């Protein structure tokens, strides 16, 4: 079986808000910097993301973490600046 790369197609617009500083995914360790315009980051779903604060797929607010939800406005959000 050959490997085929796929992305989450439910998200129509790329996420342009900066992510929470505690959001982690495999992509951050490849690129070294989370880029909101990167297709790798767009495709990051809750299954390849975790919260660095909890070390789990659930954030401190007990909600699932992913690139689309870990943005400003969430109670546990921490800005990179």
pLDDT tens for residues 15-60? 778 889 999 888 777 766 655 555 555 544 545 889 999 999 999 9
pLDDT at 46: 46
Alpha-carbon distances of 58 from 3, 19, 52, 73, rounded to whole Å:
28, 15, 10, 17
pLDDT at 60: 96
Extract long-range pairs of 32-39: CB within 8 Å, 24+ residues apart: 39/7
Tokens representing residue 57 in the block:
């797929």
Higher pLDDT, 43 or 62: 62
pLDDT at 19: 86
**In the predicted structure, residue 72 carries a pLDDT above the cut 70:** yes
């Amino acid at each position: 079986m050959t490997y085929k790369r796929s992305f989450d197609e439910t998200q129509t617009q790329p996420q342009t808000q900066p992510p929470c500083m505690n959001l982690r995914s495999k992509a951050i360790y490849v690129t070294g910097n989370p880029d909101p315009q990167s297709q790798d980051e767009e495709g990051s779903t809750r299954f390849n993301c975790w919260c660095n604060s909890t070390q789990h797929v659930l954030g401190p607010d007990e909600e699932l973490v992913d690139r689309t939800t870990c943005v400003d406005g969430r109670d546990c959000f921490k800005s990179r600046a």
